[in-house]
């Protein structure tokens, strides 16, 4: 199934999340066909296609980010998550850097959507099993 991105001329987005207590280093790359590659130091690398809900959630957040063009969070502190976002639209590359704490609402929306994609099993059906109920004599 092919899902069209909500952003005209969308080419790709790369979202890298680093930091935190465990030393997270996770990168999500999404191309124009909404095929995702996640590189994750702790959980391993994965390649998959986004489902309609996840792709819509991320595209709405990215659209809002382009509209608002927020300044990065100026907060500092130990164990914060740092986000580096590279968004290519119509041949132009826009970059956003911020930390999770105190981030603008538009940046925070992208951070949450990316985190949900990176942390979720995008193909849960492979773990499904049939439950057989024994017949009573």
pTM for the full model? 0.79
pLDDT digits (tens, 9 = 90+) for 78-106: 788 889 999 999 999 999 998 887 788 88
pLDDT tens over the chain, length 137 residues: 445 557 889 999 999 999 888 888 999 999 988 888 999 888 889 898 888 888 888 999 999 999 999 988 878 777 888 899 999 999 999 999 988 877 888 888 898 888 888 776 555 443 333 334 455 55
In a domain, 137, yes or no: no
In terms of residue numbers, what domain contains 43?
Answer: 10-122
Strand partners, 48: 36
In a domain, 53, yes or no: yes
In a domain, 133, yes or no: no
In a domain, 136, yes or no: no
pLDDT at residue number 5: 57
Residue 118: enclosing H or E segment and its boundaries?
helix 105-119
In a domain, 129, yes or no: no
Q: Could you give the number of structural domains in the chain?
A: 1
| Neighbouring residues of 24: CB distance < 8 A, sequence distance ≥ 6 | 17, 18, 41, 42, 81
Instruction: Provide the token pair at 35.
Output: 């095929």
Yes or no: say if 20 and 83 are a contact pair by the CB < 8 Å rule: no
The distance in angstroms from the start CA to the end CA of the chain is 46
In a domain, 2, yes or no: no
In a domain, 134, yes or no: no
In a domain, 4, yes or no: no
């Amino acid at each position: 199934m092919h899902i069209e991105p909500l952003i005209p001329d969308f080419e790709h987005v790369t979202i890298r999340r680093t930091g935190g207590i465990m030393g997270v280093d996770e990168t999500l790359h999404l191309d124009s066909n909404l095929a995702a590659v996640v590189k994750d130091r702790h959980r391993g690398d994965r390649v998959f296609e986004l489902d309609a809900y996840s792709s819509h959630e991320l595209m709405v957040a990215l659209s809002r980010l382009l509209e608002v063009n927020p300044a990065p969070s100026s907060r500092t502190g130990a164990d914060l998550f740092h986000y580096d976002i590279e968004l290519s639209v119509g041949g132009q590359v826009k970059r956003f850097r911020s930390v999770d704490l105190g981030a603008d609402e538009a940046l925070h929306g992208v951070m949450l959507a990316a985190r949900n994609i990176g942390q979720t099993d995008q193909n849960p059906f492979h773990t499904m099993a049939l439950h057989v109920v024994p017949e009573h004599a």
